[in-house]
Amino acid sequence: MSEVRDAISKAKRVVVKVGSSSLTTAGDGLDTARLNALVDAVAGRVGRGCQVVLVSSGAIGAGLAPLSLDGRPRDLATQQAAASVGQLALAHAYAASFARYDLTVGQVLLTSNDVVRRAHYRNAERTFARLLALDAVPVVNENDTVATEEIRFGDNDRLAALVAHLVQADALILLSDVDALYDGDPRAGGTRKIGEVAGESDLDGLKVGMSSSGLGTGGMMSKVAAARTAASSGIPALIAAAAEAADALGEAEVGTVFRPAGKRLSARRFWLGYAAGTQGRLYLDDGAVAAVVRRRRSLLAAGIVGVDGDFDAGDVVDLVDPAQRVVARGVVAYDVGELPDMIGRSTHELPDDHRREVVHADDLVPLGRG
């Protein structure tokens, strides 16, 4: 067993995410047998002394059959209506299934604001901590009934990665209808299964696609992104098939594992790098990229070549390299209107009240590029 798989199998707190296509079918809605099999695996892991947070898609899919809908609706209002009906059915099904093991579940519905806004993030952190202390199994989903853009473009894979850090999980397990990451489309044949991703170079040239089930909004692309987010913040991740949930939650000798890079980020730095909403962009020259990303220095006005967005001092902005890649995020110290007269100028050339860092190193998180 590899070191990463051993760490996942022995983790004391795990976030497990399951997709819509693993719990529902277009014609029949919620598949109770599949849900019960998942709960069997989760309960088995809990029985071995592990705390599990379950991030579950499926609310919209579970609402299709009761509303006599043939497939996932395209318009937002009908998606929200299906989520309203389906979320109740999904919560009831989980409560009944976990009750077979005398386990209590607590439903946690989140929107992007709950992880993007710092105060909400901390409130969610306290709620999860109390649920776990009371030996409940939190079942998490996006609040699709009131969400707007989240339904149209979002997925629960990213949410699961954010929750994994929020609850200080020791591992993230992403379950889907595909058994692992491949170097191409496994349906086409002639592809190679990738057992472990040790770093970014292992993903170079891979072709991964979006969901083709018609029920989910994610796919392998979003799972890889979520696994990378977790691994980048120090949390090992596993992508595996939902049908192999018992093995994934057992010895973890299935699927694809992502090796964690470095030590775990603090809650604030993780929020800053991966959860916070950004209000603009600062474009950097090569020297500034090297200083910010490799030497972990503050960003000075001299290294900025351009500004975009509508932000105030204290907002979070992306830092972009000459190749248009986001290489870091940080809290900007100036309003957008103050920066055009500052960019490209050395500190000694600026007025005394504008000689502070544009983004201080303590408020900056490199994202591993550049």
pLDDT tens digits for 128-172?
999 999 999 999 988 766 655 543 335 789 889 989 988 999 999
pLDDT at 185 over 80: no
Percentage with pLDDT > 70 across the chain = 90
CATH number assigned to the domain covering 278-366: 2.30.130.10
- pLDDT, tens digit (0-9, with 9 covering 90-100), for 275-327: 777 899 999 999 999 999 999 999 999 999 999 999 999 999 999 999 999 99
Q: Which amino acid is at 353?
A: D
Q: What confidence score (pLDDT) does residue 160 get? A: 92
> What's the whole-model pTM score?
0.81
Residues 6+ apart with CB under 8 A from 120: 113, 114
Helix (H, G, I), strand (E, B) or coil at 202: helix
- Say if domain 3-269 classifies as CATH 3.40.1160.10: yes
Running DSSP on this structure, what letter comes out for residue 178? Answer: S
**Annotated binding residues for substrate:** 57, 144, 156
Domain ranges (residues) in the chain = 3-269, 278-366
Please check the confidence at residue 42 and state whether its pLDDT lies above 50: yes
Buried b / exposed e along 163-182 (16+ C-beta atoms within 10 A) = bbbbbebbbbbbbbbbbbbb
pLDDT at 208 over 80: no
Report the pLDDT averaged over residues 230-237.
91
The three-point CA angle 255-15-34 to 5° equals: 65
Class of residue 229 by CB neighbours under 10 A (exposed 0-12, middle 13-18, buried 19+): buried
* Number of CB atoms found within 10 A of residue 222's CB: 24
Least confidently predicted of 28-42, 112-126, 200-214, 279-293 = 200-214
Phi, psi of 114 (to 5 degrees): -70, -15
- Mean of pLDDT over the chain: 87
Question: Which residues belong to the annotated binding site for ATP?
Answer: 17, 176-177, 217-223
Residues 6+ apart with CB under 8 A from 259: 4, 196, 197, 198, 199, 231, 236
Give binding residues as ranges.
Answer: 17, 57, 144, 156, 176-177, 217-223
DSSP state of 359: B
Residue 213 pLDDT: 43
Which pair of structure tokens corresponds to residue 34?
């599949």
Integer Cα distance of 44 and 250 in angstroms = 8
Strand order in the sheet with 171-176: 105-110, 137-142, 51-56, 13-18, 171-176, 237-241, 256-258, 196-197
Cα–Cα dist 12/130, whole Å: 16
Query: pLDDT tens digit string along 72-130?
Result: 888 888 988 988 898 999 999 999 999 999 999 999 988 766 766 667 778 888 999 99
Q: Output helix, strand, coil percentages for the chain, rounded to the nearest 5.
A: 40, 20, 40
Are 299 and 362 within 8 A, CB to CB?
Answer: no
Please measure the distance between the N-terminal and C-terminal CA atoms of the chain and give it in whole angstroms. 34
Positions of E strands within the chain: 13-18, 24-25, 29-30, 51-56, 105-110, 137-142, 171-176, 181-182, 193-194, 196-197, 237-241, 256-258, 280-284, 304-309, 316-320, 326-331, 364-366
